[in-house]
Amino acid sequence: MADETTSTDTETAGDTESTEETQETTETVAAEPISAEEAARIRAALAKANKQSEHWRLKAKEADDAQLSEVEKAKRDAAEATQELAKIQRDNLLKTVALAEGVPAKWVNRLVGETEEELVADARAILADLNKPKKPAPDASQGARQTAKIGGWDAGKAEAAKRFGKK
């Protein structure tokens, strides 16, 4: 038993050193742009690490399940189901309000509020901000002054007189 504790402590210390080296390397690499191939390699490594993490999370849950009684397992599963239900209901409410108010799909997760009334008010505020004109209205007191436009025959006569003088 003592040998297991020592090897675990040694592994933990080794992991800490490795983490510190990784942080130093990350700080150095972050300053330099990376190539597309390097980015793809990093994404693949991240996906692999996420897959391993999920595998070990499931293994830990199985180990915990072995130690729990049936009642404790049922309570835990019920709590997880309740949390999932609350999340689904919240997402449903957000999407319902966004659809009813006309909020674009990519703005749905930006709605804030606990009740439907709060969400509706926030959706209307977001839409008011989104629908504001992007350019300010022109100021008539600035820029060149324009005189009244003359159209048709009179415009031609005026232009001819200006260019060629009166005859």
Instruction: Identify the pLDDT of residue 44.
Output: 93
Distances (CA, A) of 115 to 72, 89, 97, 112: 33, 12, 10, 9
- Which residues touch 99 (CB under 8 Å, ≥6 apart)? none
Cα angle at 70 between 64 and 73, to 5 degrees? Answer: 50
Select the highest-mean-pLDDT range: 24-33, 68-77, 103-112, 136-145: 103-112
More confident residue, 151 or 76: 76
More confident residue, 120 or 5: 120
The overall average pLDDT reported for the chain is 78
Instruction: Identify the pLDDT of residue 81.
Output: 96
Average pLDDT on 101-107 reads: 88
| Cβ atoms within 10 Å, residue 141 | 6
Q: Using CA atoms, how far apart are residues 106 and 62, in angstroms rounded to an integer?
A: 38
As a whole-number percent, the residues of the chain with pLDDT over 90 amount to: 30
Place of tokens 């509020």: 113
Span of 24-28, 36-40, 93-97, 127-131 with lowest mean pLDDT: 24-28
Q: Using CA atoms, how far apart are residues 101 and 108, in angstroms rounded to an integer?
A: 11
More confident residue, 140 or 124: 124
